[in-house]
Structure 1
């Protein structure tokens, strides 16, 4: 069995920097509330030192966070296999959607529209939706406008408008969708 080389110092430092910035604290402010020197905090954030558990506890108390917040690591890679079950179905079991990822305010979904069916929805004000047709043909009605989309066609529209996905064919239509919410 081959072991992975994990840069724990770098990951702890990255977590610390992200948490400190999200709390809008300077290194100096964190040094004052944690009793850890600004120099040491800077070295930890840059991954130049391997802090002791005692130092990590002081930092966590100063930030008012659990220790696990500094020690938790997300994988850089996630894989969602095609053909896996969809997690949510429309009320007539003709529309299926599988939430995949959420990154930088954008949610990614895989969708499927059953043969000879349609599904309507609208999202929060200020949202933007992008749809990529992976196979077949899709009719997409956004507000009063109707768009005929073929395989690999992409459309972007305001998600707050009522939109209807329509499949006139005898085959399932698969889609990739992204939904981005902007702050008003």
Structure 2
């Protein structure tokens, strides 16, 4: 397993590859993702650890899920990926820990495990969900999932199918971490 600095460099390199493969300048990507050009430049150089929200905006601009963008940056090839080899990434703003559970493959499905620390929230733009169907399954703890104007109070064992794309917030209002699995089905 790699340290966060190595993962940040690989994410930055992947963002640059995705941008350049589309023939976009930094300015064009910044406009499409509604983030600053300077921030994208720092991420691409590996000088800044991107937040989950920033990755959601960038992946949405590329027409990818955040999970696909991350998998392209970090997941090893092969049909079996053992827990010790599953890439981990930590959001520098919230301490949100993301584990890529599913192996890198051409299947239109991915599984991600997230641990959201107590008292933390992670907003995600609707653009990150425009081309996916998702299920959220709470494995441990309590999660408030805000989908547009709808609040879903979820507890251990609860599973939610997300509706049409809208701005969302994953929120842990409890005093202990919440762990949940996200299953993503790619529509294109």
TM-score normalized by structure 2? 0.51
Among 74, 81, 84, the alignment partner of 1:78 is 81
Q: 2:124 aligns with which of 121, 124, 132?
A: 121
Q: How many residues align?
A: 108
Ranges in structure 1 where 5+ consecutive residues have no aligned partner: 1-72
Secondary structure at 2:118's aligned position in 1? coil
How far, CA to CA, are the matches of 2:78 and 2:141 in structure 1?
A: 36
- Cα distance in 2 for partners of 1:140, 1:97 equals 17
Paired residue for 1:105?
Answer: 108
Unaligned stretches of 5+ in structure 2?
Answer: 1-76
Structure with the larger helix share: 2
SS at match of 1:165: strand
Q: Which residue of 2 aligns with 1:167?
A: 172
For residues 1-184 of structure 1, what are the structure 2 equivalents within 5 Å? 74-75=78-79, 77-80=80-83, 87-101=88-102, 102=104, 104-122=107-125, 123-158=128-163, 160-183=165-188
Q: Greater relative contact order: 1 or 2 (C-alpha under 8 angstroms, separation 6 or more)?
A: 2
Structure 1 stretches of 4+ with a deviation exceeding 4 A read none
Larger Rg: 1
Normalised to the residue count of structure 1, the TM-score between the two structures is 0.52
- Higher mean displacement: 156-165 or 143-152: 156-165
Alpha-carbon shift at residue 85 of structure 1 (Å): 8.4
Q: CA RMSD in A?
A: 2.5
Give me the whole-angstrom Cα distance separating, in 2, the residues matched to 1:92 and 1:159: 27
Shift of 1:74: 4.3
